[in-house]
Chains A and B, each alone.
Chain A
Amino acid sequence: MEQQNININVAKREKDNKDLRVKVEARDLDLWYSDNHALRNINMDIYEKKITSFIGASGCGKSTFLRCLNRMNDLISDVTIKGKISVDGHNIYAPGVDEVAVRKKIGMVFQQPNPFPKSIYENVAYAPLMHDIVKKGSDCDELVENSLKGAGLWEEVKDKLKEPGTALSGGQQQRLCIARTIAVKPDIILMDEPTSALDPISTQTIESLMLSLKEQFTIIVVTHNMQQATRVADYTAFFHLGEIIEYNETEQIFINPQVSKTEQYITGQFG
């Protein structure tokens, strides 16, 4: 039974891509919110420098699982987590691992753009300075510039770095949040419905940004929008009631789903 589960959960590797490497491994992961069994026996391999998307109806556990990957669930009391998640073979839930250090390695972008009530410059420079990645001065300026360029925001804000980040438009704010995330130089970027609060044009910008970011980062994105998954994701996992029903190359999931539940969802019969 369990063996079978793993077979379903772990996506088939692309046949023509020999150098595909596993970045994140989830094994036998279970999660409870007090008595509510929110994630059931999750087993999953996520590949390096690819975009993996999680889809499913609301309440299916996709965001919860995403938050497990950088231990954001630690903030909620009453959460019990069993099982293992490793990054490059290092268990992030191992005793002695500081969740703060985990989050430095695994950044996150949220549904609502949430810039800090500080200047654009400080928004980006804050974390690298704290983590001692750079010292104050020209190194830091360079990092801020590169990060903003990486997020495709530099041209728009280079003359107003001192202005508050909250004064930018929604789409710009979200790119600022991406810039401050990549400034920390994480390995993995988690995105929790990053475009659901944005207009279509900003969404398009963010999506093309995601495609360019996968050159350097492993990206995991939760989305409500199935079209978005087909546009950006290399792999897609379909969650239902706390379980992974199907996980495969995005094309396979949408063209040739193996499980009838998946088909029902992508054809809009529920969700």
Chain B
Amino acid sequence: MSNELLYLLFFGGLFPLMFIAYIIGKNKAISLTNKNIKMHSQPSQYGWFVSLYTGLPIITITVVGVFLYLFDIHLLPPFMLISFALSLGAVSLVFLNKAINKDTKARNLVEGFIEGLLLLATFVSILTTFGILISILFEAIEFFRRESFFNFIFGTTWNPDTAFLEGAGRGGEEVASAKFGAVPIFAGTFYITGIAMLVAVPIGVFTAIFMSEYASETLRDRIKPILEILAGIPTVVYGFFAAITVAPLLVDFFASLGLKASYESALGAGIVMGIMIVPIIASLSDDVINAVPKNVKQGSLALGMNKAETIRFVVLPSAMPGIIAATLLGVSRALGETMIVVMAASLRPNLTMNPLEDMTTVTVKIVEVLVGDQAFDSSLTLSAFALGLVLFVITLVINIVSIYTIRKFHKKYKISNL
């Protein structure tokens, strides 16, 4: 039986059944009302009640069945499954219709159903987090069963080229074994992130101070959308700009100083990434600086301090937790940024302190590995998931610290729009 027919059977059964259920439920309620019985709820609510609770078993059984198929458990053939679900729905329709009396709390039951539906939607976001974790974790564990975890975390040589030979069944004694020492990759990631933060934090925080303390209302209204534009530029566009415009500029500039810079230098990628993060830090810092109570500022001004002194002594210390949280979110964003580094940084793991040399990052490696046509079970492919796991754990910790800080800050100043 083809899929189209199955869809037709399912929806062709479900919707008419629910519609009929609505009519029957409503009519029953109306007829009871006509017999001068005082009903608990409105007739249409009885209609909804019967309709929704008829649909519920049908959808539940079908969804559960489909999931079982995905795990290769075939309790019933698909046609039988849907037929079974539909007939169960019909049975529950008849049963519910009989059960309606003046004490049936249709309104509460319908609203309970809606609340359940809303709760279900809420679970999607939790499932997403677990989905990410699971999709990375299993492959990463498989990777660490093959390669040494210790070497991955502390090894300084990343040379997986032979892994794909092994994957192709040609691993042998004559081929040197693959090395998965990820230190150069982590170093490159943190180095580029560091450069980005050196750009983003001062520009972002000072911009926020200007916006919230110095700019007039009209200027603020004009500049905010412009900063939103900066925040809305896709990272692939930043990446192109970094590779095509910024990199040659840097190479020329350092050549004029007699220094040799790579076209894929950490500096170029870092600067552009920093600019990408400026609006994130600026807008979050702006929020927290605005949240500093006016009366504390006035206290300082009333002591004969000027505005700049007040900002430095009173406003910034009050806003500091929020600014730190904003910076942390920026760091997390920089660590996981992909397109800028894919386009403007290099593929070569390179352990160096020189910002003019090329470096690679975790995200670049993940993209490199997963875009190529790799056998899914080779160590090289699995290494992408191991790198992904490290990225997940690091950003998770940073995010949670940052979120807690912001929540505490907002609680302190009784504002709650994170």
Contact = CB atoms under 8 A, between A and B. Distances in A.
A and B touch in the complex (CB under 8 A): yes
Interface of A: 70, 72, 75, 77, 100-105, 107-108, 110-112, 114-118, 126-127, 130-131, 177, 180-181, 184
> Lowest 8 CB-CB distances: which A-B pairs, in order?
A104-B304, A108-B302, A127-B303, A114-B299, A103-B304, A114-B295, A114-B296, A117-B318
B298 A114 contact: yes
B353 interface: no
B295 A116 contact: no
A39 B296 CA distance: 26
A115 B302 CA distance: 12
Interface string B225-245: 000000000000000000000
Nearest to A110: B295
Given A114-B293, A118-B317, A75 B304 contact: no
B301 interface: yes
A77 B218 CA distance: 12
Contacts of B309: 130
Contact of B304 (A101, A110, A112, A114): A101
**Is chain B's interface secondary structure helix, strand, loop, or mixed overall?**
helix
B305 interface: yes
A182 B298 CA distance: 16
B34 interface: no
B3 interface: no
Nearest to A109: B302
A117 B313 CA distance: 9
Given A77-B216, A110-B299, A116 B304 contact: no
A116 B299 contact: yes
Given A114-B296, A116-B296, A117-B318, A103 B313 contact: no
B302 A100 contact: no
Given A100-B306, A114-B299, A130-B309, 7 more contacts: A72-B301, A101-B304, A103-B302, A115-B296, A116-B317, A130-B304, A184-B303
A72 B302 contact: yes
Contact of A127 (B216, B293, B305): B305
A104 B304 CA distance: 4
Interface centre among A72, A102, A103, A177 (most CB of B within 10 A): A103
Contacts of B216: 77
A103 B299 contact: no
Contacts of A184: 303-304
Interface centre among B216, B293, B298, B302 (most CB of A within 10 A): B302
A104 B303 contact: yes
B200 to A, nearest CB: 25
A214 B169 CA distance: 94
Interface string B309-326: 100011001100000000
Interface of B: 216, 293, 295-296, 298-306, 309, 313-314, 317-318
B317 A130 contact: no
Contact of A180 (B298, B301, B303, B318): B303
Contacts of A118: 313, 317
B301 A177 contact: no
Interface centre among B299, B300, B317 (most CB of A within 10 A): B299
A110 B298 contact: yes
Nearest to B295: A114
A51 B293 CA distance: 29
B298 A116 contact: no
Contacts of A102: 304
B301 A103 contact: yes
Given A116-B313, A118-B317, A126-B313, A70 B306 contact: no
B305 A112 contact: no
Contacts of A180: 303
A24 B77 CA distance: 96
Contacts of B300: 116, 126
Given A112-B295, A116-B317, A75 B305 contact: no
Contact of A131 (B298, B304, B314): B304
A79 to B, nearest CB: 15
Nearest to B321: A117
9 contacts: A75-B298, A100-B306, A110-B299, A114-B293, A114-B295, A118-B313, A118-B317, A126-B313, A184-B303
Contacts of B303: 103-104, 107, 126-127, 180-181, 184
